């Protein structure tokens, strides 16, 4: 059992969102406070105040004109927050029967207050899941993020046989719509064609053809079938 976190719930949330942003831009080691402010839905001055406290606590490094990045201690805090959040999502869906479009905000509230012992019990009751309902990997109790190799569907050349890896949106309406199309994690799909100039994509899902827009395809991450 690791030591109790020294970061507040708000600080842990900021660290987790910073980690998520950095996770999707592996070639850029820093993120801007404006990007974090947009992700958190708050003003830039509010983010700057929290980042300054995180910096004083040794959880982030901040460089003028470049942005911020997590220290090793900050990264572990972020991963433990993400772990509790994603386990809470799985528990809500698998054990309590919530829909995958209902659990993000609830898991934010639960993950901020539960202990690692409670998280471990939820993990066991949910069958030791490796991913959350949206396909995102769940960090291990030791703070290791499993590596996932996938790419946005919007970047894939047609034709291709694929499997949905994860969904990169928390929008409940989008998630409900994707569920009606069966565009959910672990679902095999075939990309049949794509129109030029960021036009729509034509898919085959369970023998049914569907057409989706380029923007929506950007929130669906896929892997080569058998490799997700």
Instruction: Output 189-193 pairs: Cβ under 8 A, ≥24 positions apart.
Output: 189/162, 189/163, 189/164, 189/222, 190/159, 190/160, 190/161, 190/162, 191/153, 191/156, 191/158, 191/159, 191/160, 191/162, 192/158, 192/159, 193/158, 193/159
Question: pTM for this structure?
Answer: 0.89
Model confidence pLDDT, tens digit, residues 139-176: 999 999 999 999 999 999 999 999 999 999 999 999 99
Residue 96: how many other CB atoms lie within 10 Å? 11
- How does DSSP classify residue 133? T
Model confidence pLDDT, tens digit, residues 166-218: 999 999 999 999 999 999 999 999 999 999 999 999 999 999 999 999 999 99
- CA 21 – CA 32 distance, rounded (Å): 10
Mean pLDDT, the chain, whole residue set? 92
Nearest of 155, 21, 163, 14 to residue 74 by alpha carbon: 14
Which structural domains are found in the chain, ordered by start?
Answer: 1-146 (1.10.10.10), 151-224 (2.30.30.90)
Q: Judge whether 214 and 208 are in contact, CB under 8 Å.
A: no
């Amino acid at each position: 059992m690791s030591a109790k976190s020294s970061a507040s719930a708000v600080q842990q949330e900021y660290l987790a969102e910073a980690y998520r942003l950095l996770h999707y831009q592996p070639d850029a080691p820093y993120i801007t406070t404006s990007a974090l402010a947009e992700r958190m839905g708050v003003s830039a001055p509010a983010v700057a105040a929290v980042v300054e406290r995180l910096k004083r606590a040794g959880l982030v490094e901040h460089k003028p004109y470049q942005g911020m990045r997590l220290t090793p201690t900050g990264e572990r805090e972020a991963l433990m927050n993400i772990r509790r959040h994603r386990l809470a999502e799985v528990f809500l869906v698998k054990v309590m029967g919530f829909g995958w479009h209902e659990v993000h905000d609830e898991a934010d509230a639960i993950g901020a207050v539960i202990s690692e012992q409670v998280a471990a019990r939820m993990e066991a009751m949910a069958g030791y899941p490796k991913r959350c309902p949206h396909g995102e990997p769940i960090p291990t109790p030791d703070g290791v993020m499993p590596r996932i190799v996938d790419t946005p569907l919007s970047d894939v050349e047609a034709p291709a046989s694929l499997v949905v890896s994860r969904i990169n949106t928390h929008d409940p309406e989008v998630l409900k719509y994707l569920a009606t199309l069966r565009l959910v994690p672990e679902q095999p799909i075939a990309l049949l064609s794509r129109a030029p100039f960021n036009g729509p994509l034509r898919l085959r899902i369970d023998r049914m053809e569907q057409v989706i827009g380029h923007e929506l395809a950007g929130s669906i991450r896929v892997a080569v079938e058998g490799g997700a």
